[in-house]
């Protein structure tokens, strides 16, 4: 690998701007393609910083002319004594990823090939930017020095070496230097076939989501929508479920979004919804618990215990049992989780009402859950080099291991209080007289038979402060493990809201067809039986629920 010194003459206008040397519009990338132009600038960068024996990161957004420029940097850098290059696979590293890599590997600096939000291609923009060892853009004294060098440059050094294959992850020697090709993040690699969309529903999470997803993770701005908080939430109903978050559902279906998510008005709820894939909140928290080992926070601190609210499906219990973790069933509402967390006995918990969280704070956390899911998707795909795994693949995998808890909630909003109370009394009466236990009920549409094994009023004794909360919902259990819960909402603004929660468990051995069915179909028979037993339609004067989740 002989080092050659190539004679050159200065070019005008190689002055780095706000964020590196960029050329746009009429001139654009063609400027950089002139003989010696890019070489001059790179030599000037290296002359302005002391890269001898140091590590240099190379990345960028992969725009037109990047692969050639990466090779140029390798040749000139090596000739100038760079000891090691860390290069993003295919020359790609998002700006935040590059910043992170510089810091993580304690590199001397990095060269980023990007013109940010400006268009790319043979007639469009290109840019070269230098970042220093703290991972941030070079300060002005450094960029000024570079500019001065570009004005007087008379030659650059280059090694004669064949191009490096940027698609091969791993480390190899390159002349007197080493080149290490690293994998950039999962999302960086899959901007086309794994699109992400977050919908803020004009609630409070918009600015947080933009900062995290676009500014930090480097996703395109099209990855977020409705992210400006509005006093009337844009006229929408800022509740992340299939009914109210229709802006997300429509965009996901229309644009083939692999991973979509939404948050509620105050940002504590979340919904995970990709193309053709909906994750029930009960499954979501179970899957997060199952994959906790890939989430940095739990990697460090471990998982203490798991918990769910009573009406939430038992999917997370099965994860706890398999992993030998303590788990809790608490009444509806986040306040019951806090004591357990403060006592160091709970790490991950959730509610069926689109609430998921952990002991990093004492409220449920919509964006946290969404980022936890992105971690899981990236980790699952890292283990699956040949097949891109989507949300449905993760669900199927989970059901195959743990079985599936088909779960749905029917809400009857703003019903007369007398009707709601009559419904509660009716079930209490059956409980008192023990009149329903051991009776068998047949669904007229599916023919499914359900035998009641017990009825009880859920009561919770807090294991930490021993306080008791009674009448937290009426539970009807069935001999096949199914369960129906009736509860009155404690948050409604008008009249009474009755919630009916139905859950039917299917064991792994039932096989793929039984495990991967449609929720409404999987629960049809049980729902019919629940409505019949409770005489709900009669008491509430409603044929259909207001919302089904």
Query: Between 497 and 526, how does the x/- string for binding to ligand VG1 read (CB under 6 A)?
Result: --x---------------------------
C-alpha 137/C-alpha 254 separation (Å) is 38
| Window contacting ligand VG1 (CB under 6 A); options: 142-150, 244-252, 282-290, 330-338 | 330-338
CA atoms within 13 A on the CB side of 284: 30
Q: Which of 47, 188, 268, 528 binds Co ion (CB under 5 A)?
A: 268
Strand-strand pairing, 84-88 and 55-60: parallel
| Window contacting ligand VG1 (CB under 6 A); options: 16-24, 109-117, 347-355, 512-520 | 347-355
Is the Cβ–Cβ distance between 272 and 377 less than 8 Å? Answer: no
C-alpha 546/C-alpha 520 separation (Å) is 16
353 lines the binding site for ligand VG1 (CB under 6 A): yes
Instruction: State both tokens at 271.
Output: 């919904």
266 lines the binding site for Co ion (CB under 5 A): yes
| Nearest residue to 6 via CA among 45, 48, 31, 35 | 35
Strand-strand pairing, 305-309 and 348-351: parallel
Q: C-beta of 353: minimal distance to ligand VG1 in Å? A: 3
Q: Identify the three-state secondary structure at position 203.
A: coil
Judged by beta carbon, residue 264 or residue 317, the one nearer ligand VG1 is: 264
The item of Co ion, ligand VG1, none sharing an interface with residue 353, based on CB under 5 to 8 Å by kind, is: ligand VG1
Residues in 239-268 that interact with ligand VG1 by CB under 6 A? 264, 268
Q: C-beta of 266: minimal distance to Co ion in Å? A: 4
Q: Which of 19, 453, 489, 546 binds ligand VG1 (CB under 6 A)?
A: 489
Q: C-beta of 267: minimal distance to ligand VG1 in Å? A: 9
Q: How many residues bind ligand VG1 (CB under 6 A)?
A: 14
Judged by beta carbon, residue 62 or residue 357, the one nearer Co ion is: 357
The item of Co ion, ligand VG1, none sharing an interface with residue 334, based on CB under 5 to 8 Å by kind, is: ligand VG1
Q: Identify the three-state secondary structure at position 162.
A: coil
Q: C-beta of 271: minimal distance to Co ion in Å? A: 12
361 lines the binding site for Co ion (CB under 5 A): no
Burial of 386 (0-12, 13-18, 19+ CB in 10 A): exposed
The item of Co ion, ligand VG1, none sharing an interface with residue 333, based on CB under 5 to 8 Å by kind, is: ligand VG1
Positive or negative, the Cα torsion across 313, 315, 318, 322? negative
Residues in 307-326 that interact with ligand VG1 by CB under 6 A? 309
Could you tell me where the DSSP H helices lie in 441-518?
512-515
Judged by beta carbon, residue 264 or residue 283, the one nearer ligand VG1 is: 264
Strand-pair partners of 155:
7
Q: Which of 39, 61, 199, 264 binds Co ion (CB under 5 A)?
A: 264
Could you tell me where the DSSP H helices lie in 153-295?
186-189, 206-209, 246-254, 281-290
Mind spelling out the 3-state secondary structure of 3-71?
Answer: EEEEECCCCCCCCCECCEEEECCCCHHHHHHCCCHHHHHHHHHHHHCCCCCCEEEEEECCCCCHHHHHH
Q: C-beta of 354: minimal distance to ligand VG1 in Å? A: 8
490 lines the binding site for Co ion (CB under 5 A): no
Q: C-beta of 204: minimal distance to Co ion in Å? A: 9
Annotated catalytic residues are 116
For residue 101, how many other CB atoms are within 10 A of its CB? 21
Residues 6+ apart with CB under 8 A from 74: 58, 85, 87, 161, 164, 174, 177, 179
| Nearest residue to 56 via CA among 142, 121, 130 | 130
* Number of residues that make up the chain: 549
| Window contacting Co ion (CB under 5 A); options: 212-220, 265-273, 291-299, 370-378 | 265-273
Unique residue bearing structure tokens 């969280």:
357
160 lines the binding site for Co ion (CB under 5 A): no
Instruction: State both tokens at 118.
Output: 């400006």
C-alpha 70/C-alpha 93 separation (Å) is 12
C-alpha 461/C-alpha 338 separation (Å) is 14
| Window contacting ligand VG1 (CB under 6 A); options: 91-99, 254-262, 460-468, 486-494 | 486-494
Q: C-beta of 489: minimal distance to ligand VG1 in Å? A: 3
Unique residue bearing structure tokens 């000139």:
76
Q: Which of 1, 11, 297, 334 binds ligand VG1 (CB under 6 A)?
A: 334
C-alpha 165/C-alpha 70 separation (Å) is 11
Give CA separation, 282 vs 91, 278, 327, 501, in Å: 40, 11, 14, 12
Residues in 43-72 that interact with Co ion by CB under 5 A? none
239 lines the binding site for Co ion (CB under 5 A): no
> What's the gap between Cα 229 and its chain centre?
21
| Window contacting ligand VG1 (CB under 6 A); options: 318-326, 349-357, 399-407, 416-424 | 349-357
Judged by beta carbon, residue 386 or residue 491, the one nearer ligand VG1 is: 491
| Window contacting ligand VG1 (CB under 6 A); options: 273-281, 477-485, 487-495, 508-516 | 487-495
The item of Co ion, ligand VG1, none sharing an interface with residue 321, based on CB under 5 to 8 Å by kind, is: none
Judged by beta carbon, residue 333 or residue 454, the one nearer ligand VG1 is: 333
Q: C-beta of 510: minimal distance to Co ion in Å? A: 35
269 lines the binding site for ligand VG1 (CB under 6 A): yes
The item of ligand VG1, Co ion, none sharing an interface with residue 202, based on CB under 5 to 8 Å by kind, is: none
| Window contacting ligand VG1 (CB under 6 A); options: 57-65, 73-81, 248-256, 351-359 | 351-359
Unique residue bearing structure tokens 């709900």:
536
- Chain residues binding Co ion by CB under 5 A are 264, 266, 268-269
Footprint on this chain of ligand VG1 (rule: CB under 6 A) = 264, 268-269, 309, 332-334, 351, 353, 355, 489-491, 499
């Amino acid at each position: 690998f002989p080092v050659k010194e190539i004679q050159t003459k200065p070019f005008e206008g190689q002055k780095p701007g706000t964020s590196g040397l960029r050329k746009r519009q009429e001139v654009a990338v063609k400027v950089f393609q002139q003989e010696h132009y890019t070489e001059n600038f790179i030599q000037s960068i290296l002359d302005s910083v002391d890269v001898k024996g140091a590590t240099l990161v190379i990345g960028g957004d992969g725009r037109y002319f990047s692969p050639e420029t990466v090779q140029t940097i390798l040749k000139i850098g090596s000739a100038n004594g760079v000891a090691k290059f860390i290069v993003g696979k295919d020359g790609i590293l998002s700006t935040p990823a590059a910043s992170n890599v510089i810091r993580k590997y304690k590199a001397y600096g990095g060269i980023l090939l990007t013109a940010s939000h400006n268009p790319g291609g043979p007639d469009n923009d290109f840019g070269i930017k230098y970042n220093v060892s703290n991972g941030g853009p070079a300060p002005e004294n450094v960029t000024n020095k570079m500019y001065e060098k570009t004005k007087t440059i008379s030659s650059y050094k280059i090694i004669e070496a064949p191009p490096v294959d940027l698609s091969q992850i791993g480390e190899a020697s390159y002349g007197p230097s080493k080149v290490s090709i690293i994998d950039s993040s999962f999302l960086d690699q899959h901007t086309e076939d794994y699109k992400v969309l977050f919908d803020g529903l004009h609630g409070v999470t918009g600015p947080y989501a933009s900062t995290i997803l676009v500014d930090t993770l480097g996703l395109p701005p099209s990855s977020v929508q409705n992210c400006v908080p509005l006093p009337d939430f844009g006229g929408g109903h800022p509740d992340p479920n299939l009914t109210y978050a229709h802006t997300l559902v429509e965009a996901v279906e229309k644009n083939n979004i692999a991973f979509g998510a939404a948050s509620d008005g105050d940002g504590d709820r979340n919904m995970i919804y990709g193309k053709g894939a909906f994750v029930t909140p009960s499954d979501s928290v179970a899957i997060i618990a199952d994959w906790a080992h890939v989430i940095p926070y739990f990697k460090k601190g471990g998982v203490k215990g798991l918990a769910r609210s009573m009406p939430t499906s038992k999917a997370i219990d099965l994860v706890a049992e398999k992993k030998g973790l303590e788990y809790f069933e608490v009444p509806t509402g986040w306040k019951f989780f806090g004591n357990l967390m403060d006592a160091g006995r709970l790490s991950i918990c959730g509610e069926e009402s689109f609430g998921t969280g952990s002991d990093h704070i004492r409220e449920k956390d919509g964006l946290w859950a969404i980022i936890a899911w992105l971690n899981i998707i990236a980790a699952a795909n890292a283990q699956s080099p040949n097949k891109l795994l989507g949300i449905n693949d993760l669900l199927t995998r989970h059901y195959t291991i743990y079985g599936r808890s088909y779960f749905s909630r029917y809400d009857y909003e703003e019903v007369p209080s007398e009707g709601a109370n009559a419904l509660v009394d009716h079930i209490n009466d059956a409980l008192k007289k023990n009149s329903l236990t051991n009776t068998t009920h047949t669904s007229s549409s599916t023919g499914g038979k359900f035998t009641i094994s017990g009825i009880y009023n859920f009561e919770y004794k807090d294991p930490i402060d021993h306080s008791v909360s009674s009448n937290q919902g009426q539970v009807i259990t069935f001999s096949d493990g199914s369960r129906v819960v009736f509860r009155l909402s404690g948050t409604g603004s008008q009249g009474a809201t009755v919630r009916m929660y139905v859950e039917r468990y299917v064991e792994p051995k039932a096989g793929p067809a039984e495990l991967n069915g449609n929720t409404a179909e999987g629960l049809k028979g049980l729902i019919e039986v629940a409505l019949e037993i409770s005489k709900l339609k009669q008491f509430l004067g409603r044929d259909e629920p207001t919302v089904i989740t």
